[in-house]
Structure 1
Amino acid sequence: MGIPGLSNQNSGQQRLGITEPISLAGPTDDDAIKTLELEKYLQGVGLYESQEEAVVREEVLGRLDQIVKIWVKNISRAKGFNEQLVHEANAKIFTSGSYRLGVCSLARE
């Protein structure tokens, strides 16, 4: 018996959306060792940002967030929404990829 909204291979029907996990087991000792080896490698090849680079990136993301929020309010106003709805209009920026992993693959001089 599956959870509604999750895929269920036994029912013969295809369900779209979030699939059930392959495993609920935690990491093994070998997984932990491999993780440490990967982190050491990434540090060795310079893929982690310095603290200064991280601060600049956060500042840029903050400014981008402000620009997007202003843009959403301007569009809402242009579409004829009342000021209450314009005031409540909002947007959210989500980071992904190497940024979320804490590594950076930008070329450095």
Structure 2
Amino acid sequence: MGSPGLINRNNGHHQQQRLGITEPISLGGPTDYDVTKTRELEKIVKNWVKVISRAKGLNEQLVQEANAKIFTFGSYRLGVGH
């Protein structure tokens, strides 16, 4: 006998179950609005990083090289938090 919940026997055929995994809500890419808002957010974050870098006393070369990355996660990443 196999691991419970991993393999179903259906009319003599084995069918793999994917517990806890659902199909995506949408396979559509970002809209023009999404792209615009993403660029605006990236610009704001880059400016914020420069302000913080200057406030921490970094020289101007380091301020200009400073950067950040934005990662989405959770329900927002899954597109269900809207």
- TM-score bracket relative to the smaller structure: 0.5 to 0.7
* Cα shift at 1:85: 1.1
Residues 105 and 78 of structure 1: CA distance in aligned 2, closer, same or farther (over 3 Å): closer
| 1:96 counterpart residue number | 73
8 Å Cα contact 1:69-1:91 kept in structure 2:
yes
Q: Which runs of 5+ in 1 are unaligned?
A: 1-26
Residues 62 and 90 of structure 1: CA distance in aligned 2, closer, same or farther (over 3 Å): same
| 2:18 counterpart residue number | 31
Find the partner of 1:59 among 21, 36, 45.
36
State the identity as a percent. 47
Provide runs of 4+ in structure 1 moved above 3 Å: 48-51
Matched pairs, number: 68
* Cα shift at 1:86: 0.7
Normalising by structure 1, what TM-score?
Answer: 0.46
Which digits, 9 at most, give the CA deviation of each residue in 1:20-77, with x for residues without a partner? xxxxxxx861118x74xx43xx75xxxx4865xx322333122111101111112222
| Superposition RMSD in Å | 3.0
Kindly indicate which of the two structures has a greater share of residues assigned to helix: 1
Kindly indicate which of the two structures has a greater share of residues assigned to strand: 2
